[in-house]
Each structure stands twice: as structure tokens, then as C-alpha cells.
Structure 1
Amino acid sequence: MKPATAALKLDIYLPATPQEFQDGMVSREDLDELQRNPPQWLADLRREGPHPRNVVAARLRISNSGLARAGITEALTTAQIADLAANPPEWLVQERATHAETLREQRRLEERKQDGTDKVTVPAKPAKAAKPARRQSPSSRGGRSPRR
């Protein structure tokens, strides 16, 4: 697989990886080995960062969209994430509340779906009015054919 796909599966920021990882292809066996026995560079990258957007969002307990709304486009290190979490700016407090509300709504809808109460009755469409019968030509009625 491509290095970008492998980085996504490993939850690491591709530009921060070693050049040989970025240049080569990664087999499924290599990926499994990296997950089971991460080399030092991978362990350091996971511990200290920089981290990709999905990891930053998860650690801040907000959505990826929340990061975008806040203008956070670059990868953040673990120290930067910890600083934001320790001293949350107003946007982070608001995004956490928004994300928590979204998750509550998703859970509510999922529970409702599992309970079977999610069935919304939609009124039936009114029957279409019958079209008026088409006038038959004189020849089809057994009469004389029209003049030409």
C-alpha cells in the first residue's frame, strides 16, 4: 500500500515519518509488524507528535470539523495539544460542547432505531385521478373513416 494509506492506518503524520517510509511501499505484513513491534521512530512519533488532524481532534475531544472551524490546519505536537487542553480557549470549550451534543443526538437516534420506535409514519400519497377516456376515432368505432 502507499505510504499515505499506511500512515493513516498507523495514525501518524506522514511528513514526520522517515524518508525511507515515505518513499517505499508498505506491504500488509510490514504494516502488521509495525503495529505489533513499532520501531523507535514510530513510538516517538506516536508519543510526541506531530499528530494528524484526526488524532488531534480525538485528543481534544472535538470533531475534525471543529478543528477546521477553529482554523487549526497544521499538525500539532503532544505538548501543543496538552497546552490547549490545560488552558482551553473559548473556541475549544464551544467545540467540545457542540461535539458532545452531536454524540448525544447520535446515541439517542441509535437507541431509537434499535428500539423500533424510529418508524416514522409517512402519510400515503393520494391516489392519482383517473385520466378521462380517450376519444375514439370514427374508424375504431366502426364508423366511416375521416375525410382527407
Structure 2
Amino acid sequence: MARNEQLMKPATAAKKLGVYLPATPEEFREGDISRSEFDRLQSEPPEWLAELRRTGPHPRPVVAAKLGVSVSGLARAGIDEALTTQQITELLQQMPEWLVTERATQAAVRAENARLKEQRRARD
């Protein structure tokens, strides 16, 4: 490791990698991760990382993105734990009422943000 290389906490690295920290291997959770180690994880993900990204459990921001809702929408629905890819797929197939409502809310927010961005662009 380079002498002045930046280190990040495992929680930060997990967040940046889009994985659920408690599901990572113990050696990942035990110590700080250097920038070069992090870059290597991104460019050449080990099997445990590829498997976590593929099947989960996924952290809430990833769950929200896969469901097309906000993290707040997950909270309103009472979903506060990590979900696996299979659980997410089942929710998308079942489309419970809360998911339909939250997806519509998220779509409206995106449309409004796009409208405001276009309005700002027109003024500049």
C-alpha cells in the first residue's frame, strides 16, 4: 500500500460498491480498505462480490432502485431490511398496492424534476 494512500471504512466501501455490509465476508468488514484495493474490487470483483451483486441481499438504496421507488417509499411500505434479488422479483411480479402507488409517486417526482430542469435550461 502506498504511504499516503487514502483508506475508507468497510461501510463506506460497501455503500460505494452497492452491497449490504453484513453480507460481506468477515475479512472485508474487519479493516479499512485502501483506494487501490477498492479500485481492484470494482475492476475485478471477486466471486463473493459478484454473487452479492447478483443475488443479494441488497442494501435499501439498491432495493429502491430495482423496484423503481425511493428509499422513503420503502420506509412508508414498512420495508426496512435488505432484500434478495428473488424477493425483489417476487414483489415486481405481485405488484402490491403500495408498490404501484410508490412507483407512480417516483415517476411524478422524476417528471417534475425533468420539467424544472428544462425550465431552468430555457431561462439560461
CA RMSD of aligned residues (A): 0.8
Name which of 82, 86, 89 aligns with 2:89.
Answer: 82
Structure with max Cα Rg: 1
Q: Check if 1:97 corresponds to 2:73.
A: no
Whichever structure has more helix as a proportion of its residues is 2
SS of the equivalent of 2:105 reads helix
After superposition, residues 28-107 of structure 1 pair within 5 angstroms as: 28-107=35-114
The runs of 4+ residues in structure 1 deviating greater than 6 Å are none
Amino acid at match of 2:13: A
> What's the CA shift for 1:93?
0.2
CA distance in 2 between counterparts of 1:46 and 1:90 reads 27
Amino acid at match of 1:59: K
Structure 1 unaligned spans of 5+: 118-148
| TM superposition shift of 1:54 | 0.4
Q: Deviations over 1:52-78 (max 9, x none)?
A: 000000000001110010000000000
Q: What is the TM-score of this pair, normalised by structure 1? A: 0.78
Number of aligned residue pairs: give it: 117
Shift of 1:94: 0.3
- The letter of the residue matching 1:70 is A
| 2:6 aligned with 1:2 | no
Q: Give unmatched runs, 5+ long, in structure 2.
A: 1-7
- Counterpart-to-counterpart distance in 2, 1:85 and 1:36: 30
